[in-house]
Amino acid sequence: MHPILKLVAQRVALGILLLWAASVLIFVGTQILPGDVAQSILGQAATPQSLANLRAELGLNEPPVARYFAWLGGVLTGDLGTSLTNGRDIATAMGGRLWNTLFLAFWTALIAVPTAILLGLVAVRYQGRWPDKLISGTTLATVSVPEFLLGYIAVFFLAVQYRVFPSISTVYDSMSLGEKLNAIALPIIVLTLTILGHMMRMTRAAILNVMQSAYIETAELKGLGGFAVIARHAFPNAIAPVINVVMLNLAYLVVGVVVVEVVFVYPGMGQYLVDHVAKRDVPVVQACGLVFAAVYIGMNLLADVMSILANPRLRHPK
Amino acid sequence: MRMPVSAAIGLFFTALYFLAAIFADLIAPYGMAEIVGGVWDPVSADHWLGTDNIGRDLLSRMIYGGQTTIFIATMGTLLSFSVGSVLGFTAAVAGGWLDQVLSRFVDLMMAIPSLIFALVVLSVMPVTVPVLILVMGILDSTRVFRLSRAVAVDITVMDYVEAARLRGEGRGWVIFSEVLPNALSPLVAEMGLRFIFMVLFISTLSFLGLGVQPPLADWGGIVKENKEGIVYGIPAALIPAFAIATLAISVNLVADWILNRTTSVKGGRGG
Cβ–Cβ pairs < 8 A, chains A and B: 147
Q: What value does the mean pLDDT take over residues B155-181?
A: 84
Q: What pairs with residue B35 in β-bridges?
A: B56
Give whole-number Cα distances, B194 to A32, A94, A247, B24, in Å: 26, 34, 23, 24
CB contact (8 A) between residue B112 and residue A145: no
User: What span, in angstroms and rounded, lies between the C-alpha atoms of B175 and A282?
Assistant: 41
pLDDT score, position B72:
92
Compare CB distances from A293 to B107, B112, B121 and report the shortest one's residue: B112
pLDDT at residue B153 greater than cutoff 50: yes
Model confidence pLDDT, tens digit, residues B204-225: 888 888 888 877 888 888 888 8
Looking at beta carbons, which residues of chain B come within 8 Å of A167? 230-231
- By C-alpha distance, which of B185, B212, B196 is closest to B128? B212
Q: How far is A282 from chain B (nearest CA, A)?
A: 7
CB contact (8 A) between residue B111 and residue A300: yes
pLDDT at residue B161 greater than cutoff 70: yes
CB contact (8 A) between residue B245 and residue A259: no
pLDDT score, position B200:
87
In terms of CA atoms, which chain A residue is nearest residue B135? A29
Q: What value does the mean pLDDT take over residues B88-117?
A: 86
pLDDT score, position B79:
94
Query: With the CA atoms of A143, A147, A150 and A152 taken in that order, what torsion angle do they form, in degrees rounded to the nearest 10?
Result: -170
Q: What value does the mean pLDDT take over residues B42-61?
A: 74
- By C-alpha distance, which of B58, B125, B70 is closest to A36? B125
pLDDT at residue B155 greater than cutoff 60: yes
Q: How far is A256 from chain B (nearest CA, A)?
A: 9
pLDDT score, position B74:
92
- List of residues 6+ apart from A112 with CB closer than 8 A: A191, A192, A195, A196, A199, A249
Q: How confident is the model at residue B268 (pLDDT cuts 50, 70, 90)?
A: very low
Which residue ranges of chain A lie beneath pLDDT 70?
1, 32-45, 58-61, 169, 173-174, 312-314, 316-318
pLDDT score, position A32:
64
pLDDT score, position A37:
65
Q: How far is A59 from chain B (nearest CA, A)?
A: 16
Task: Name the percent of chain B lying above pLDDT 90.
Answer: 6
A 135-174: CB under 8 A from B: 140-141, 144-150, 152-153, 155-156, 159-161, 167
B85, B175 contact by CB (below 8 A): no
pLDDT score, position B271:
33
pLDDT score, position A34:
55
CB contact (8 A) between residue A33 and residue B123: no
> Which ipTM was obtained for this model?
0.81
pLDDT at residue B77 greater than cutoff 90: yes
pLDDT score, position A51:
74
Model confidence pLDDT, tens digit, residues A26-85: 888 877 665 566 666 666 667 777 777 777 776 666 777 777 887 788 778 777 777 777
Q: How far is B198 from chain A (nearest CA, A)?
A: 11
pLDDT at residue B100 greater than cutoff 70: yes
pLDDT at residue B166 greater than cutoff 90: no
CB contact (8 A) between residue B121 and residue A30: yes
Model confidence pLDDT, tens digit, residues B18-46: 888 888 777 777 776 777 777 777 777 67
A293, A26 contact by CB (below 8 A): yes
Select from B116, B121, B213, B232 the residue whose CB has the most chain A CBs within 10 Å, as the one to mutate to test that interface.
B116
What secondary structure does DSSP assign to A9-23, as a single string?
HHHHHHHHHHHHHHH
State if pTM tops 0.90: no
Select from A67, A149, A167, A274 the residue whose CB has the most chain B CBs within 10 Å, as the one to mutate to test that interface.
A149
